[in-house]
Structure 1
Amino acid sequence: MKIDVWWDLIEQARGAVGDRADDRDSPDDPLVAVLTDLLSELEAAEIIAFEQLLIRVCDSAYLRPLWNAAQLIEGGCGDDGFMDFRGGLALLGRTAFTRAVADPDSLAELPVVVRMGCEGKGWIGCEGMSYAPREAYERVQGETDSFDAVMEATVPGMERPDRPTGENWDVDDAEETRRRLPRLAALFLGQGN
């Protein structure tokens, strides 16, 4: 599967849920279910290829500045939370994802992030994104053992980062965070914190 096809599947799912694609709320977020349905229309090998690209896409966002942005947005973000954040960020589409990887402060332009900062509602992190390919595979094949076997055989051979890259800082240092993420800090730290 080519990366453009991968992103096209994300965009198809986003198009199917309309306005809900950009400003989602848990637990009634329809996007993962729609994506799973789309993946279920593929051949088993294509679903595996989607999963492999999902890993690569999420790995490309394994960046300390983006993690710090996620921590600010979500009020804390551990290892699993950052994995979910990157999967949910991919669901926001290629443009938003690419911009956030290049400039984490660009997240302040997303409607869901604005709402999270102003109203405390909305979400980006999406654990369900991690399970969509496997669930689609099970629908197509009637089992997941072969999916698991392929992934167990291929993932160790993938070149994957063992830690986030990029410059780090203490996100609890409000002054430093305002300097590095000024638009996000304005949303989440306000003027006095």
Structure 2
Amino acid sequence: MDIETWWSSIEQARASVGDRADDRDPPDDPLPAALVDTLAMLEPADVIDFWVKHVELTDSAERYPLRWAAFLIEGSFSNDGFMDFRDGLMLLGQETFSRAVADPDSLADLPVVVKMSRDEGGWIGFESLAYLIKDAYRKVRGETDTFNAALEAVVKGMTRPELPSGDNWDPEDDDAMRHHLPRLAALFLD
């Protein structure tokens, strides 16, 4: 599966839920089920390929500046919290994801982030895109044992980053946050 096809699946699911695609906070969030339905239309091998691309995109976003932007926005230092944040960014679509990886401060433009900065609800993170992919596979095949075996074989051959890349600073240093992420800091610190 090429990356354009991967993002096309995300966009197809987003289009099916319309204006409810950008916030993971509501308890009746329709996007996860829409993505499972979209992926369940694929062949089993393509669902596995979708998972592989998901891992590759996750790894491409393993960057300190994005991690510290997630900390400002959602308040989590944990690896799990950052994983959920990256998965939620993917659900926001290719343009938002790519822009955020290149310039995490651009997240200050998102209405959901502005809403969060005002304590008006909203959420980006999603736990976990990998579960949705597995659910889609189960829907296609009626089981997940072959999915798990295929993933185990694929993971053995992947080179994954050990540490985030990019500039690193102390995320609890408000001055450093203002320097590196000025627009987000203005929303969340000032």
1:161 is paired with a residue whose SS is coil
Name 2:35's counterpart in structure 1: 35
SS at match of 1:143: coil
Letter in 2 for 1:145: D
What is the rounded CA distance, in whole Å, between the counterparts of 1:21 and 1:59 in structure 2? 23
The normalised TM-score by structure 2 is 0.97
Residue identity matched to 2:83: M
Alpha-carbon contact 1:32-1:128 (below 8 Å) kept: no
Counterpart for residue 152 of structure 1: 152
Q: Which residue of 1 aligns with 2:111?
A: 111
State the distance in 1 between where 2:49 and 2:140 align: 14
Note the residue ranges of structure 2 that are not aligned, 5 or more in a row. none
Equivalent position of 1:59 in the other structure:
59
TM-score (ref. length: structure 1): 0.95
Alignment identity in percent? Answer: 58
In 1: Cα distance, 2:134 partner to 2:70 partner: 26
CA 1:16–1:77 in 2, change beyond 3 Å: closer, same or farther? farther
Q: Which runs of 4+ in 1 moved over 2 A?
A: none
Question: Which residue in 1 is equivalent to 2:47?
Answer: 47
- Cα deviation code 1:20-79 (max 9, x no counterpart): 112342432211110001101111001000001010011100101100000110122310
Q: How does 1:64-83 map to 2 (within 5 A)?
A: 64-83=64-83
Deviations 1:88-140 (A, max 9, x none): 10000000000000000000001111111013411111013121111111111
Distance in 2, Cα, partners of 1:43 & 1:106: 36
Give the C-alpha shift of residue 161 in structure 1: 0.6
Rounded Cα–Cα distance in structure 1 between residues aligned with 2:32 and 2:56: 19
Aligned length: 190
> Considering only aligned residues, what root-mean-square deviation do their CA atoms show, in Å?
1.0
